[in-house]
Structure 1
Amino acid sequence: MDIVSKSDDAPAQAGTPKGEKRQFRKVAARGAAYSGLAQGLKILLSMASVIVVARLLAPTDFGVIAMTTPITGFILIFQNLGLNQAVVQARTISEEQTNALFFYNLAASAAIALIFLAISPLVGLFYGDPRPAYITAASALTVLLTGTTLQHTALLNRAMRFRALSFVDITTAAASLLFTIGFALWLRNFWALWLGAFCGTVVNALLVWRIDRWRPSRRIVWGSARNMVKFGANLTGFNFMNFIRKNIDNVLIAKMWGSSALGLYDRSYKLMMFPLEKVNSPLARVMLPALARVQDEPGRYRRMFLLAIQTLSIFSVPGIMAVAMCSDLVIPLLFGARWTDASPIFFWLSLAAVTQPVSNATGWLFISSGRTKEMFHWGLYSTPVTIAAFLIGLPWGPVGVAKAYFLSQAVTVPVLYYWCTRDTPVSARDLYAAIVPTLLGGILAWGVVNLARGELSTIPLLATAFACSYGFSIAVQGATKKGRAALVEMTRLLSAARP
């Protein structure tokens, strides 16, 4: 018996294979629309939080939270053990398996909470500052609470209940923003950031338990989830390596240059990378179950994946190029004059982010096809290369680290494109074809903006950068046969997404 939450969004029986494909396409399109709308609102809320709270708190307050991020981030690796994706990818899942996975997650969360409490004094000793120790200990509460929601969220995703998930995401983000601003006005210190995030976690837990009616029971067969645990173990191994790769820069900068330098780097990183991750997350929510269902149909699998990454590229890369070419204006405008030193950091991180939309999407290939072991092997290569780059750039401060991160992409991205497409209907050439037209459009826009710099003030110049970047990118995309086909297909999907 397959455990699936009842959903108004889930595909109905359409009677014929052709009808089923049409219905599936409609569900996927609407799911993307719901998730896209939710993420758009979440990005606006996140940006508002970054901008408003940055004016209420000092860079060192953000630096304290960033010091703990490499440690608290472990909850996302060892809490779900890769089991959420295993639930989504599995063709069927029984009541016994669902119960076993729930209690696996709960046990892992309890163990990690105890570890956080035990190591918090060591964190304070490492940094020579007691404040990160307080945050690490307090995060044990977040770990325990989040552990109770993982299985419910996975079941909602498996059932393709994207509308419900989008509602949860938006409500959680709004609550977190309001609580963070309120605590920042009241406390004026780093605790405001943690308390705001924790209150958002409470709201999230209440909502997912209310929306998803599944409840754990004593019907447990521990061995029934063995294959899922193996799948999740490889994914957890990759997540562990990827976590180190994405957080070791914070540790190195904090240790060598202090919390103020880390605050500048962290805000620059969040401003650039955080929106990209927020775009990839909802698309992954839609694409993973969708690709898993058509993995036995190579043609559909390839078309679906390529359309997704072309859409990602068209919507994301021109915006990245626009803020990169105006980085010296963006940071003072959003954060204020005291953050001006973050401008060169933001510039190099923006350049590094150009390949991120497509690179992030390669995880869909690994996971939907059950190739998490190869995904783990990729992490074993990319992590040491990136760490070496950070160490090379570290003597030049956070700017040197950001520049080194950009340069490391030239070594890792080609290998990633080759490795992720092995034994799949998708080729590395397909990935390059998805990103090159938008890159060319951005380069053309950069030339126009440089010519206009002496003639336009800040806001008109930023508007010109965005208009030219998106306009040229779409024009270049439309100049090729595949690009025109992608634009037409995007239009069809938008039509299918209508109620």
Structure 2
Amino acid sequence: MKLSEKSPRVTTSASETAHNLGSTAARGALITLSGQGIRILLQIAGVVVLARLLSPHDYGLLAIVVVIIGIGEIFRDFGLSSAAVRAPELTGGQRTNLFWINAAIGVSLGGVLFAISGPLATAAGQIEVQSIARAMTVIFILNGLTTQFRAHLMRDLQFRRLAIIDVIAPAFALAVAISAALLGWGYWSLVAQQITQALAILVGTAVGARWLPGLPNQNVSVRPFLRFGANLVLSQIVNYGANNVDTAVVGFVYGPTSLGLYNRAYQLVVTPLSQIQSPVTSVAIPVLAKIQEDQRRFSAYIVRGQLALGYPISLGLVGVAVAAEPITRLMLGEQWLAAVPFLQLFAVAGIARNLAFVGYWVYVVRGLSGDLFRFSLATGLVPVICVVVGTQWGVLGVAAGFAIAPWLTWPVSLLWLSRVTAVPTRALFTGALRIIGVAGVSAGAAFSVTIALPAMPALLSIAVTAVAIGGTVGLLCLIPTIRRDAKSLLEVGVLVKRRKGL
């Protein structure tokens, strides 16, 4: 009798564990996406205000330095935040040693940027770049100190604290930037914004983590973390170089004004996309790491994750592509209308880049950083070749090359991943094709509606585009497979709202 009583208790415990994990994932997604929604609204407000206070030349000067900062930031993290989050066990000594490694890398990179600031300004032909680069060396130091505090919060699934930090820090930084721009600081307003945000995030994560590192301990080994991080950072460097060769070409060949136009269009599309992908990843990786031994459940999460990211983001990017001109006119002003074709091409590129994103989760969770590096190395030349060929048609050709590249590489990314680990390849391919089909039909319908109607105010034109896309999606839901996808997305929404298991 006692044995029969114990058996259901074991079953209940397992069920409760699955339910709690799903509840955590749902709650984390709700909190994280809510925070990012506010952050994106702040970014839009910043773009609208600062674009009217600063010039494309100001943005171009900062963008030249930001490209270098981006490369350094990959080395500064060294993949150790992901390594710490995915580790089955992490001792206090390991966490402390990782903290000091990231801090040391940050200080070293700050010194390197200071040293190359002069040659960088000479190469860009803009003397202002030297002082901008020297001022921004402090960002490496601040971010180096932040890395393990943030990883600590992610590992402990403290999504609420992260969301609060990720809203307050950019809001405070934006207030500083607007104030500085009103005082006539020009590009220094943007520098102040970057530094202020890095400092605010450091303070927020340090307080939120409720943890302080001790002194480095040579008796505590972190070699497995460094080995994982080394492969991850190599793949990130290859990807970053491949994905930013366009910015480098525009900046150094066509000058800061062209780069300012190009960069603003890029930021309008890619930054919000990253601000959705990054926090969702901070929820997905620790959750997937806990269920990776259950292949059926793991595969179901991956497929659902692709649909949950793919449909709303792809349809949003379709709206951006169709309504690029009124969006630019409304958000940036008349002086930025030359950025419209760039905005359209980046939206097209964003759809393909987003479809391949769930594969990154699998590489990280399964500890396949070496395979990720080899894939990145094998496909890294594709965007470089596309951009170089595109230079024959000027800056617009560069943007077109950037847009074409991810459409060539995302199918390869799924096939490559299926060779190194078990993934639901067929389900991911068919799901992606449905997303592309819905996005394509919606784009055609919305574009036809906007062409047929007479000229409208910018805000009304954007609203009409949104209604046309929504109406088209509604009609496409008459197709059974699309209707099943819509039902799955609604279930995810209900689960998040109710905080029930996924």
What's the TM-score, normalizing by structure 2? 0.92
Distance of aligned partners of 1:33 and 1:476 in 2 relative to their CA distance in 1, 3 Å threshold? same
Instruction: Supply the AA of the counterpart residue of 1:176.
Output: A
> After the TM superposition, which of the residue ranges 160-169 and 207-216 deviates more from structure 2?
207-216
Question: What is aligned with 2:465?
Answer: 465
TM-superposed deviation, 1:14 = 11
TM-superposed deviation, 1:311 = 0.7
Q: Deviations over 1:384-421 (max 9, x none)?
A: 11111111111322211111122223321211121123
Tell me which of 120, 132, 141 is aligned to 1:135. 132
> After the TM superposition, which of the residue ranges 184-193 and 433-442 deviates more from structure 2?
433-442
| Secondary structure, counterpart of 1:63 in structure 2 | helix
Contact 1:453/1:461 (8 A) holds in 2: no
TM-superposed deviation, 1:445 = 2.8
**Distance in 1 between the 2:490 and 2:346 partners?**
32
| Secondary structure, counterpart of 2:423 in structure 1 | coil
Distance of aligned partners of 1:53 and 1:493 in 2 relative to their CA distance in 1, 3 Å threshold? same
Question: What is aligned with 1:4?
Answer: none
Contact 1:97/1:222 (8 A) holds in 2: no
Q: Which structure 2 residues correspond to residues 347-386 of structure 1 after superposition, within 5 A?
A: 347-386=344-383
TM-superposed deviation, 1:299 = 0.8
**Distance in 1 between the 2:187 and 2:473 partners?**
41
**Distance in 2 between the 1:467 and 1:222 partners?**
62
| Secondary structure, counterpart of 2:419 in structure 1 | coil
> After the TM superposition, which of the residue ranges 59-68 and 480-489 deviates more from structure 2?
480-489
Tell me which of 38, 41, 53 is aligned to 1:41. 38
Distance of aligned partners of 1:391 and 1:232 in 2 relative to their CA distance in 1, 3 Å threshold? same
Distance of aligned partners of 1:53 and 1:212 in 2 relative to their CA distance in 1, 3 Å threshold? same
Q: Deviations over 1:152-178 (max 9, x none)?
A: 110110000000110110111111111
Instruction: Supply the AA of the counterpart residue of 1:73.
Output: G
Question: What is aligned with 1:453?
Answer: 451
Distance of aligned partners of 1:488 and 1:261 in 2 relative to their CA distance in 1, 3 Å threshold? closer
**Distance in 2 between the 1:452 and 1:486 partners?**
31
**Distance in 2 between the 1:394 and 1:461 partners?**
33
Contact 2:319/2:466 (8 A) holds in 1: yes
Question: What is aligned with 2:240?
Answer: 243
Q: Deviations over 1:211-261 (max 9, x none)?
A: 112111136246521111100000000111111112221111112111111
**Distance in 2 between the 1:419 and 1:359 partners?**
11
Distance of aligned partners of 1:173 and 1:14 in 2 relative to their CA distance in 1, 3 Å threshold? farther
TM-superposed deviation, 1:126 = 0.8
**Distance in 1 between the 2:433 and 2:57 partners?**
39
Question: What is aligned with 1:7?
Answer: none
2:100 maps to 1:103: yes
Identity %: 26
Contact 1:382/1:412 (8 A) holds in 2: yes
Question: What is aligned with 1:486?
Answer: 488
Contact 1:96/1:221 (8 A) holds in 2: no
**Distance in 2 between the 1:442 and 1:218 partners?**
53
Question: What is aligned with 1:169?
Answer: 166
Contact 1:109/1:147 (8 A) holds in 2: yes
Tell me which of 213, 231, 237 is aligned to 1:234. 231
Distance of aligned partners of 1:23 and 1:71 in 2 relative to their CA distance in 1, 3 Å threshold? same
> After the TM superposition, which of the residue ranges 451-460 and 265-274 deviates more from structure 2?
451-460
2:438 maps to 1:438: no
Contact 1:117/1:140 (8 A) holds in 2: yes
TM-superposed deviation, 1:451 = 3.6
Tell me which of 320, 326, 330 is aligned to 2:327. 330
> After the TM superposition, which of the residue ranges 463-472 and 308-317 deviates more from structure 2?
463-472
Question: What is aligned with 1:398?
Answer: 395
Instruction: Supply the AA of the counterpart residue of 1:466.
Output: A
**Distance in 1 between the 2:478 and 2:352 partners?**
20
| Secondary structure, counterpart of 2:222 in structure 1 | helix
Question: What is aligned with 2:279?
Answer: 282
Question: What is aligned with 1:61?
Answer: 58
> After the TM superposition, which of the residue ranges 270-279 and 330-339 deviates more from structure 2?
330-339
Instruction: Supply the AA of the counterpart residue of 1:299.
Output: R
**Distance in 2 between the 1:122 and 1:478 partners?**
60
**Distance in 1 between the 2:295 and 2:68 partners?**
40
| Secondary structure, counterpart of 2:136 in structure 1 | helix
**Distance in 2 between the 1:181 and 1:498 partners?**
41
> After the TM superposition, which of the residue ranges 445-454 and 119-128 deviates more from structure 2?
445-454
Q: Deviations over 1:447-498 (max 9, x none)?
A: 3331443425243332122223244336536733552552353144224338
